[in-house]
A and B are shown apart, each in its own frame.
Chain A
């Protein structure tokens, strides 16, 4: 049996796991690992400019390809910078394996230079995390890490490798399979329970499907579309479930939740059977819990037992992967006479459609996103968090090969640009567009350099209202316009109690166009609706560098409609 270094087994393991891209940032305790990656062609090593962006990039890669995203960073600050990205991936069930270098075993606990207990820090935000304490465990632990990340409910796994373990000689064998006695995710569907659920559905008068991210994660979109068409049951999605069926499909109602549309929230409130798949009934979608779908029999399919009957008590629980369950349902389901119900829902849609144009004529986010729908129907779209995310989930069409990557659970600003980098690297033949606000874009702006160096033709849309707009909207609605720390034009000389966005304000900083150009990217500022198309066409012509398009939008544009905190879903404020 050949003896090889831990670092060489690490590289061998990655190759056997089919890793083609690794997102890495070197440092003292990871230098040996990077040395073993040097000069080989099978795994491309991408160097983002900050470890937080590095995890988001791996996350974007994983979400858009369905493969495991792999990160490699050094100990101490390299490891702690992963925290936000790991939590982001954990909340949205993204399979990642994050390797961290660690100080040698004999220094652990000594407060050595760049030593942190990263396993202790990330324990509550990882699916699994472990320090390798013996060279002979290294292969097994890496094998188990990939198994845990991708099986059951996917999630991030952290493997911490002390430097002496990296350097130690040991077996060159990498296990062919993982057998973990404490982790045996179920792959079966309980047919009896599923038949019972379908039977309830078949007898419903006003049924709806409520679809969450689970359907997208198990790549069951086409099966879900067939199921909707077979049953004639309308489909409502969460933000994470958007795209479960095409958004131009006649059975698609829209998003549920505090910024969902009127028809979806009303339909949920009035349905008699709520058939939910792959959602955990997060508080952003339920509104006031006691009023949520209160007349409905609730069926809940989820891969995670702990997500069932946690926020909402359900009548028929089914633990299963969304894709497997939908495939099985296709065997039992039958068409339902939902014509009248669909007509009522259409009535609600017609009565209160989404739309910004009347209230905010001229350049507005709806127009920008409509142009993306028109010119880039197959593009992968990422968002940041805040109004930009909400507008995107309202107006983006999910058709063709479109995927929407957004931080739905943790709500992480700064996600959009690095996630777009990961998505583009994983999908070189598709366009990738990031939609950000001016706040979020500045949280990982340094990744313009990564996009340039990797020659990625990303289209980065910055919806610049010069505010942290979502918080400003809340301050306007619920805090008497006390705009505390949300104005990004604020300068030292400004009045502390300024109530007048954009009245004699200091200039915005930074100048996004000059900034883009300083990275070597194309920068275009758009100030009127007429210029949207030309900017996108100019971006479309670029094949080897990103284009940043800054859209100057109304600083007081709000996201409507909205369910105020603590209110039931059917008590929406229609115009915020």
Chain B
């Protein structure tokens, strides 16, 4: 079992998202994240899909996607040079003064932006790789257990030109 990434070009049509998510649920494939948005061509949408599977199942998933009407292109991003980012919001609640100082320190060290801030709460925004965002959440959860609220956007990825994220 291994974490995999797929980039999909699909027709920008009603029902495409349902079709693809339905394919994953109907065949019991383990879908972890899915993002979708329009491309430079408004008739085409692009999806970035993260999943965990073994080699045989992953081959089957790519074939099932490839044969589906409406899917224009399937690209396996698992082992190719790409840039990949995920947006993450973490709201830390119930902060006293020393908590706030600690949150600011963490933000500074991990390259996280403080987006909003009040008397008791701080909102952090992190646009990093999914793995790094996982680490940030783990760290904040240790320090502020039960007081964090997490919203994640899912990863978007694009082929690298000369540098890569991973």
List residues of chain A with CB under 8 Å of any chain B CB: 119-120, 123-124, 127-128, 130-131, 133, 148, 152-153, 180-183, 304-306, 308-310, 313
Taken together as a complex, chains A and B put the C-alpha atoms of A309 and B72 apart, in Å, by: 23
What residues of chain A lie closer than 8 Å to B68, measured between beta carbons? 182
Minimum CB–CB distance for B20 against chain A, Å: 10
A306 and B18 contact, CB distance less than 8 A: no
Known contacts A131-B14, A133-B14: A123-B69 contact under CB 8 Å = no
Secondary structure of the B side of the interface? Answer: helix
Known contacts A123-B19, A124-B26: A310-B60 contact under CB 8 Å = yes
Q: What are 20 contact pairs spanning A and B, CB under 8 A?
A: A119-B15, A123-B18, A123-B19, A123-B22, A128-B70, A131-B15, A148-B69, A180-B69, A182-B68, A182-B69, A182-B72, A304-B67, A305-B66, A305-B67, A306-B63, A306-B67, A308-B63, A309-B56, A310-B60, A313-B56
What residues of chain B lie closer than 8 Å to A119, measured between beta carbons? 15
B125 at the interface (CB under 8 A from A): no
Taken together as a complex, chains A and B put the C-alpha atoms of A309 and B63 apart, in Å, by: 11
B14 and A120 contact, CB distance less than 8 A: no
What residues of chain A lie closer than 8 Å to B71, measured between beta carbons? 182
Secondary structure of the A side of the interface? Answer: loop
Minimum CB–CB distance for A134 against chain B, Å: 11
* A-B residue pairs, 6 tightest by C-beta: A306-B63, A128-B69, A182-B72, A305-B63, A183-B69, A124-B26
Minimum CB–CB distance for B76 against chain A, Å: 14
What residues of chain A lie closer than 8 Å to B22, measured between beta carbons? 123-124
Minimum CB–CB distance for A227 against chain B, Å: 27
What residues of chain B lie closer than 8 Å to A181, measured between beta carbons? 72
What residues of chain B lie closer than 8 Å to A131, measured between beta carbons? 14-15
Taken together as a complex, chains A and B put the C-alpha atoms of A27 and B83 apart, in Å, by: 54
B102 at the interface (CB under 8 A from A): no
Q: How large is the interface on B (under 10, 10 to 19, 20 to 34, 35 or more residues)?
A: 20 to 34
Residue with the highest number of chain A CB atoms closer than 10 Å, among B15, B66, B68, B69 = B69
B10 at the interface (CB under 8 A from A): yes
Taken together as a complex, chains A and B put the C-alpha atoms of A152 and B68 apart, in Å, by: 12
Minimum CB–CB distance for A244 against chain B, Å: 24
B108 at the interface (CB under 8 A from A): no
A309 and B59 contact, CB distance less than 8 A: yes
B115 at the interface (CB under 8 A from A): no
Taken together as a complex, chains A and B put the C-alpha atoms of A120 and B22 apart, in Å, by: 10
Minimum CB–CB distance for A2 against chain B, Å: 28
Residue with the highest number of chain B CB atoms closer than 10 Å, among A183, A305, A306 = A306
Smallest CB-CB separation from B23: which chain A residue?
A124
B64 at the interface (CB under 8 A from A): yes
Interface positions, chain B 67-114, Cβ under 8 Å from A, are 67-72
Smallest CB-CB separation from A308: which chain B residue?
B63
Minimum CB–CB distance for A157 against chain B, Å: 9
Minimum CB–CB distance for A149 against chain B, Å: 11
A306 and B10 contact, CB distance less than 8 A: no
What residues of chain B lie closer than 8 Å to A180, measured between beta carbons? 69
Minimum CB–CB distance for B58 against chain A, Å: 12
B141 at the interface (CB under 8 A from A): no
A306 and B69 contact, CB distance less than 8 A: no
Smallest CB-CB separation from A182: which chain B residue?
B72
Taken together as a complex, chains A and B put the C-alpha atoms of A93 and B120 apart, in Å, by: 62
A306 and B15 contact, CB distance less than 8 A: no
What residues of chain B lie closer than 8 Å to A124, measured between beta carbons? 22-23, 26
Residue with the highest number of chain A CB atoms closer than 10 Å, among B14, B23, B67 = B67
What residues of chain A lie closer than 8 Å to B15, measured between beta carbons? 119-120, 123, 130-131
What residues of chain B lie closer than 8 Å to A310, measured between beta carbons? 60
Minimum CB–CB distance for A130 against chain B, Å: 8
What residues of chain B lie closer than 8 Å to A130, measured between beta carbons? 15
Minimum CB–CB distance for B24 against chain A, Å: 11
What residues of chain B lie closer than 8 Å to A133, measured between beta carbons? 14
Smallest CB-CB separation from B26: which chain A residue?
A124
Minimum CB–CB distance for A316 against chain B, Å: 16
Known contacts A123-B22, A181-B72: A306-B64 contact under CB 8 Å = yes
Given contacts A123-B18, A305-B63, A309-B59, 20 further A-B contacts (CB under 8 A): A119-B15, A120-B15, A120-B18, A123-B19, A123-B22, A124-B23, A128-B70, A131-B14, A148-B69, A152-B67, A180-B69, A181-B72, A182-B71, A182-B72, A305-B66, A305-B67, A306-B64, A306-B67, A309-B56, A310-B60
Question: Residues 49-61 of chain B: 1 if any A CB is under 8 Å from the residue's CB, otherwise 0?
Answer: 0000000100110
Known contacts A123-B18, A133-B14: A182-B70 contact under CB 8 Å = yes
A127 and B63 contact, CB distance less than 8 A: no
Smallest CB-CB separation from A126: which chain B residue?
B69
Taken together as a complex, chains A and B put the C-alpha atoms of A182 and B64 apart, in Å, by: 13
What residues of chain B lie closer than 8 Å to A182, measured between beta carbons? 10-11, 68-72
Smallest CB-CB separation from A131: which chain B residue?
B14
Taken together as a complex, chains A and B put the C-alpha atoms of A131 and B14 apart, in Å, by: 9
What residues of chain A lie closer than 8 Å to B23, measured between beta carbons? 124
Taken together as a complex, chains A and B put the C-alpha atoms of A162 and B15 apart, in Å, by: 16
Taken together as a complex, chains A and B put the C-alpha atoms of A481 and B10 apart, in Å, by: 53
Interface positions, chain B 1-58, Cβ under 8 Å from A, are 10-11, 14-15, 18-19, 22-23, 26, 56
Taken together as a complex, chains A and B put the C-alpha atoms of A183 and B67 apart, in Å, by: 8
What residues of chain A lie closer than 8 Å to B69, measured between beta carbons? 127-128, 148, 180, 182-183
Taken together as a complex, chains A and B put the C-alpha atoms of A536 and B34 apart, in Å, by: 61
Taken together as a complex, chains A and B put the C-alpha atoms of A454 and B10 apart, in Å, by: 45
Taken together as a complex, chains A and B put the C-alpha atoms of A182 and B15 apart, in Å, by: 15
What residues of chain B lie closer than 8 Å to A183, measured between beta carbons? 69
Taken together as a complex, chains A and B put the C-alpha atoms of A310 and B59 apart, in Å, by: 9
Taken together as a complex, chains A and B put the C-alpha atoms of A120 and B21 apart, in Å, by: 12
What residues of chain A lie closer than 8 Å to B26, measured between beta carbons? 124
Minimum CB–CB distance for B31 against chain A, Å: 15
Taken together as a complex, chains A and B put the C-alpha atoms of A313 and B60 apart, in Å, by: 12
Taken together as a complex, chains A and B put the C-alpha atoms of A120 and B19 apart, in Å, by: 9
